[in-house]
Amino acid sequence: MSLVGFAHGTSHFFHLMLPPLFPWFMQEFSLGFTAVGVLTSVFYAISGVGQAVAGVWVDRFGAHRVLCAGVSLLTLSGVAVALATGFNGLLLAALLAGMGNSVFHPADYALLNRRVSPPRLGHAFSTHGICGNLGWALAPLLMTALATAYNWRVAGLGAALFGAMALSLLIWKRGTLQYSAGGHQPDGSARLATWSFLRVRMVWLAFAFFFFLTLGFGALQNFAPALLHQLYGLSLLSATSALSIYLLAGSAGLVLGGFIAKPGRAHEFTVSAVLSGGALLALLLASKAIPGVLVIPAMAAMGFTLGIAGPSRDLLVRQATKARLGEAAFGRVYGMVYSGLDVGLALAPILFGLLLDNHYPQWVFVGFAASLGFAIIAARAVAHDGP
């Protein structure tokens, strides 16, 4: 659990390897906001497409090998940043990082589902999510500190060193991450041919679930400071703090969610309940019915509530996959459905950015609530979709 969690934290660290360095890139290479924004879009586009392919590789070659390949690509992306002589060099770094990031969800979940006993899976998924949040928190601090103290090329080398450390740990402890191929197969398991699993409706319902769940989160991740500044008049410092507290509260919710998520439970009810609570809080924030002093507590409550859903969400997908396709399909199914996460993160800045550009900040929260509503519908469809 700790090894896979650390690997997941490494992937989230590289999510935010480039954005903290944007001011330095813009000054060094005379780039605009649109140009540096393309780097993020390339990262998520490559990662989204790559996850489906990586899932097939996980089921064919084993999760440990694919995971090590992904960390190697992340390490190379840090080197590419350090050696970049222009925008094309930074684009190469974003491409390598996106390719490396694409392996983590299929490989991580294949490992956790194969190597952790069912009674502890809720805690395993909780640990996985918390470590990801810690990776997000560490990257801006480390990259900004190195770039300020030295320069942005040293920051790139620092990211590469972090990746190399993670790769060394995974190779050293490889025995802990090995599992035998095969496993329980349901009737009709002939559908496990490489890409035929895409004909299973549950896979696309789960894809839709992750897409809508992440679409709303992407809005807050990208625009929460500007959103709260426009809507409530908070200072940018206070609004940025609200986002940080939202993420930290989400980590606390993940801890509780690990205790709630137990094998055999109807996970769709847990997911529906907590997402409904998050949607109501988002609508409350959209209504401006609360004073500005309560905005940060409301954001914390929303983050904590939504964090509870994490382990139950992952167990819901596990339960549906095992019933429809069997354990040997964990890699490709998790790879495919989690690509919905990257699609949501890629589209959120465009869809919700338009609302902010046209001075409709309250509709960002309304859209967030609506996306959670669609996620609830998709989650229940995943749980009750027939084989």
Task: For residue range 4-59, list pLDDT tens digits in order.
Answer: 999 999 999 998 899 889 889 989 999 887 788 788 888 988 998 888 888 888 88
Predicted local distance difference test score (pLDDT) of residue 191: 45
pTM of the shown model: 0.77
Task: Look at residue 184 and tell me whether its pLDDT is greater than 80.
Answer: no
Q: Where is average pLDDT lowest: 191-205, 229-243, 292-306, 359-373?
A: 191-205
* pLDDT tens profile 76-100: 999 999 999 999 999 999 999 999 9
Question: At 141, which CATH number?
Answer: 1.20.1250.20
Whether residue 220 sits in one domain with residue 166: no
Whether residue 57 sits in one domain with residue 193: no
> Which residues span the domain enclosing 261?
189-384
Of the three residues 107, 141, 174, the one that is the final residue of a domain is 174
> For the CA atoms of 334, 384, 123, 119, what is the dihedral angle to 10 degrees?
-110
Whether residue 157 sits in one domain with residue 204: no
- Flag whether 344 is in a domain: yes
Chain-centroid distance, C-alpha 103: 12
- Flag whether 8 is in a domain: yes
Predicted local distance difference test score (pLDDT) of residue 193: 52
Percent of the chain clearing pLDDT 90 (strictly above):
42
- Flag whether 183 is in a domain: no
CB atoms within 10 A of CB 374: 17
The answer to whether 90 touches 18, Cβ cutoff 8 Å, is yes
Of the three residues 115, 139, 174, the one that is the final residue of a domain is 174
- Flag whether 179 is in a domain: no
Task: Look at residue 258 and tell me whether its pLDDT is greater than 90.
Answer: no
Predicted local distance difference test score (pLDDT) of residue 187: 44
Higher-confidence residue of 116 and 184: namely 116
Predicted local distance difference test score (pLDDT) of residue 265: 66
Predicted local distance difference test score (pLDDT) of residue 188: 44
Whether residue 42 sits in one domain with residue 154: yes
Q: Which of 93, 103, 96, 100 is nearest to 36 (CA)?
A: 93
Total domain count for the chain?
2
- Flag whether 206 is in a domain: yes
Whether residue 207 sits in one domain with residue 142: no
